[in-house]
Amino acid sequence: MKTIYLFIALCMTTISQAQLKPVSYNDGNQKLNGFAAIPSKPNSNNPGILILPAWKGINNHSKEVAQKLSGMGYHAFIADIYGEGNYPTNTNEAAQQSGHYKTNYKEYQKRITLALEQLIKSGADANNIVVIGYCFGGTGALEAARGNLNVRGVVSFHGGLGKNASRENNTITTKVLVLHGSDDPHVPQSDIQSFQQEMNSSNADWQMVYYSGAVHAFTEKEAGNDNSKGAAYNEKADKRSWEHFLLFLKEVLK
């Protein structure tokens, strides 16, 4: 009997992994390597979710999220922001790479746009898409809103909120949801205040939810559980933020 259960478990794992399809695409001469998760039973209106990974690039967490969303009937695509040959191998490299795109935000917006094109090619309705991101990817989700990309909503999970003060606040037409750890040391109060002022001056339809006792990376199990390090997994915040995200999808997607 145990052998049968083991065989079934292995089969289910294979099916789950098979949902992810490697996709190569390009930004000029730069090769990019993303992943598409195509649902076996798509929802009506073919809603799509673009996933922007954390600062080290595509990881197990982003893949798990894509598979989970695919299982719910969403077309999902994980964006490759850095490109082949530029993937960080440590935190210093990740800080350097992510810092480049935070500063050169138009390059970030372009990489997001290219990933959106791949999501649409995989079957998502071009007018029925939400962008979500984690940490550095959360910053990218906000850049999708700031750039007025053709998306119905953006969601930032423990993402950076700041932008250069010299940038103008343009009208934001997409809906914005920010899911934030109340004890996140990587997002200073000044950034939170500036972000909220930006959203208001941009006439954005925005929400911000705080999770008590949560620091940076609260959805990332690989971050461990030591809050003193400034980044740690928080099971309660992870589950609550997912439910808030699903509620947002019901509101914004057709």
pLDDT tens profile 169-179:
999 999 999 99
pLDDT (mean) for 228-250:
98
Whether the per-residue pLDDT at 10 is higher than 70: the answer is no
The pLDDT score that the predictor gives to residue 15 is 42
Whether the per-residue pLDDT at 3 is higher than 60: the answer is no
Are the C-beta atoms of 159 and 125 separated by less than 8 Å? Answer: no
The pLDDT score that the predictor gives to residue 81 is 98
DSSP β-bridge partners for residue 131: 50, 154
The pLDDT score that the predictor gives to residue 2 is 41
User: For residue range 131-140, what is the model confidence (pLDDT) as tens digits?
Assistant: 999 999 999 9
The pLDDT score that the predictor gives to residue 186 is 96
Are the C-beta atoms of 163 and 186 separated by less than 8 Å? Answer: no
Whether the per-residue pLDDT at 150 is higher than 60: the answer is yes
pLDDT (mean) for 3-32:
67
Structure-block tokens of residue 33? 């390597």
Whether the per-residue pLDDT at 5 is higher than 90: the answer is no
Query: Residue 92: what are its φ and ψ, rounded to 5°?
Result: -65, -45
Pairing label, strands 129-134, 48-52: parallel
What integer best gives the mean pLDDT of the chain? Answer: 93
User: For residue range 111-133, what is the model confidence (pLDDT) as tens digits?
Assistant: 999 999 999 999 999 999 999 99
117-153 burial by CB neighbour count: b if 16+ within 10 A, else e?
Answer: ebbbebebbeebbbbbbbbbbbbbbbbbbbbebebbb
pLDDT-derived band of residue 19, with 50, 70 and 90 as boundaries?
Answer: confident
Pairing label, strands 129-134, 153-157: parallel
State the DSSP string of 108-135.
Answer: HHHHHHHHHHHHHHTT--TTSEEEEEET
Cα distances (Å, whole numbers) of residue 38 to 14, 25, 96, 127: 15, 17, 33, 17
pLDDT (mean) for 215-224:
97
pLDDT above 90 coverage of the chain, percent: 92
Whether the per-residue pLDDT at 8 is higher than 50: the answer is no
User: For residue range 49-107, what is the model confidence (pLDDT) as tens digits?
Assistant: 999 999 999 999 999 999 999 999 999 999 999 999 999 999 999 999 999 999 999 99
pLDDT above 70 coverage of the chain, percent: 93
Whether the per-residue pLDDT at 151 is higher than 70: the answer is yes
